[in-house]
Amino acid sequence: MIKLVIIGVVCGAAALTIGILIGHFGISKSGTSAPLWLEDVFYLLSFIFLRRSLTKVPHMATTAGDEETVQIMLKRWQDPETGLDKAWREEYWVYLSFPDKNNPNKVTVGDPTDTVLHTIREKEKPYTPDQSDPEVVQPYAAYSPPGHVKGKLVYANQGKPSDYSELNKTVDLRGTIAITKYGGAGRSAKAINAAPYGVVGVLVYTDPLDINDGLMSDASETYPHSWYMPPTGVERGSYNIDFGDLLTPHLAAKEETYRINATDITGIPPIPTQPIGFEDAYRLICDVKLDIYNYEEVKPSSNVMGFIRGSVEPDRYVIYGNHRDSWVHGAIDPSSGTSVMLEITRVLGKMVKQGTWRPRRSIIFGSWGAEEFGLIGSAEYTEQYFAALSERSVAYINVDIAVFGKKLHTAPVKAPGHEKSVYDNWLQYTNKTSTSHGLIPRMGYLTGAGSDYAPFSHYLGITSMDISYTYDKTKTNARIYPAYHTAYDTFDYASKYIDPGFVGHQAVARTAGNVLIRLADSLILPLNCADYAESLEEYLTTALNLYEEKLKTMKISMEPLKQAVTSFRAAVSNLQKVIQSPDLVRWINDQLMLLDRAFLNPLAFPDKYGFRHVIWASSSAGKRTFPGLADAYAKAESSGQASDWDKVHYHLSVLSQAILGAASTLTDDMQT
């Protein structure tokens, strides 16, 4: 149903886009190169592991199914013929939230006499045997508190602050239950925003207009007849704002680690919350009763780690990761990415075992646990190895959902056989004009915390990339593939409607593997600072257009920011002149590798745990410019308070000094 388009999302010193994928720049290599591995890849992409192993049972974090996937990863990475140099499990004790199997969460509609008129489904309607598996977890809002509430139902759109504010002008929200749709605000924010108005409970549903192009009938329009979500489908999710274990902020969650009290956790729903299907959402009226029996538990969760030692620079790490856990079967999220990683490691491991190739730099592979509960496995790993990763990491590559959708045409899709095919397809469907390179594929920015790149990019400042094949979004309004986080994300769904023949998986594996090899093997790191400078200049242009005129009236100057970006461009230009000098390889690579760290400021976003990168942090303002400045300006413009305009000035200073500091790291005399 959906056109294959490659999309790579980059954050960092990087034109990983330009320097790696597009191949505008020739990079010298040292040692035995590894182009032949590309030819060997993906003849297993009928995906034996995806079909028979990774998706045969639900594998939510810490369950028996999760342990099965741990053993699959260890077996593959410890294989004597195709395994890695080392593989091991890294265990953390993490705070998770589950529904009570013996007391399922309930939502009922009653009349004034408390007679039950309607009860929502406890589980989705099954269409295949695996969807009837008893281990399919009931839809629930992870980290919602337990509770029993009853009230009039009110529609609160997306649950944004503005939605509740407008609603409160005409409706007394005290004692009500709000029904909201996904989108606009984060999952937990829908309840956090509601509580101050006296709302006692929140329901969340997926609007078919936002996911199904309005189609609603499972008799002919939705799965199993198409890729669209059936009426009973429910999107599960973790309802917490912060990433990592909630009881051990800034500390690795080992068994003996100090833990805060659960009552001190912030960023989770303060009132009972439950997701439901759109079929039930349309039947809810009048008085609604919400009975939530969720409970929390500290349980052991494992990362599985793999390692290939570098031959020349073993103390420099290129990290490749994918999370392992899912909400149910997870054929797409995350098993599409897991299968791609397994195939890459099979080919690289085989060459290492045969002695035909070894990377210049070390490669670390991470199969992260408990990602669905808030990026827990990757976050705990970055907290435990904070110093070593900060000093030695070259880049992080993330492949979570490898393929979001297939093409809209009826003709068969050819598997891209080399970089040019991927490049041409990418360029055709999503592109931009670069001042340096002309027409190039468009890249997004990793500005949120949607997957395991977040701890590496936002917390450690490691240049990061997330790679996937996605659909042509001009042909559908689906915000994500419709079976996302539902019981329908199964092999049947993936093989019929997402990637028949798994040709998209092949393209992602070849592309991600190519990026990995270039980062691990290139003599000079293929990280292009000139493209970083171009991104800063684009952000600056947007910021000037949006804010400069108003800020002048507030006597706040943007000149320091202009000068900082100019200084950064000058430093980049000077570095480019010496970048191919063989006598300066280690120095040049260190400048490239550590550039993103220079943009970290632990005090820049006190209300955003784990976000320290002043260029790529998340933003609620919806503007493609500097996030802290955009958010501060939006708040000041709304409130008009002098103290909020002071914060705009503060963020301008933080930003200007960070960019100047980054420019100084590209020179050897600390002058800008």
ω into 334 cis (within 30 of 0): yes
CA–CA separation, 109 and 336 (whole Å): 39
Residue 330 amino acid letter: G
CA–CA separation, 390 and 402 (whole Å): 27
Which residues fall within 8 angstroms of residue 512, CB to CB, at 6 or more apart? 320, 340, 344, 397, 399, 467
586: left (phi over 0), alpha (psi -120 to 50) or beta: alpha
DSSP H/E element including 596: none
Cβ atoms of residues 26 and 445 within 8 Å: no
Give the tokens for residue 323.
């999370």
CA–CA separation, 257 and 245 (whole Å): 11
Cβ atoms of residues 65 and 58 within 8 Å: yes
Residue 439 amino acid letter: L
Q: What are phi and psi of 453, to 5 degrees?
A: -70, -25
39 flagged as catalytic: no
CA–CA separation, 391 and 394 (whole Å): 9
Q: For 372-432, give the DSSP string.
A: GGTSHHHHHHHHHTHHHHHHHEEEEEE-SSSB----SSSSPPPPP-SHHHHHHHHHHHSEE
User: Which one from 124, 371, 372, 383 is the annotated catalytic residue?
Assistant: 371
Cβ atoms of residues 69 and 54 within 8 Å: yes
The helix/strand/coil state of 94 is: strand
The helix/strand/coil state of 263 is: helix
Query: Looking up tokens 């741990």, which residue turns up?
Result: 70
Give the tokens for residue 70.
């741990």
Cβ atoms of residues 617 and 447 within 8 Å: yes
Residue 488 amino acid letter: Y
Q: If we measure between CA atoms, which residue out of 33, 484, 467 comes closest to residue 237?
A: 484
DSSP H/E element including 327: none
Provide the annotated active-site residues. Answer: 371
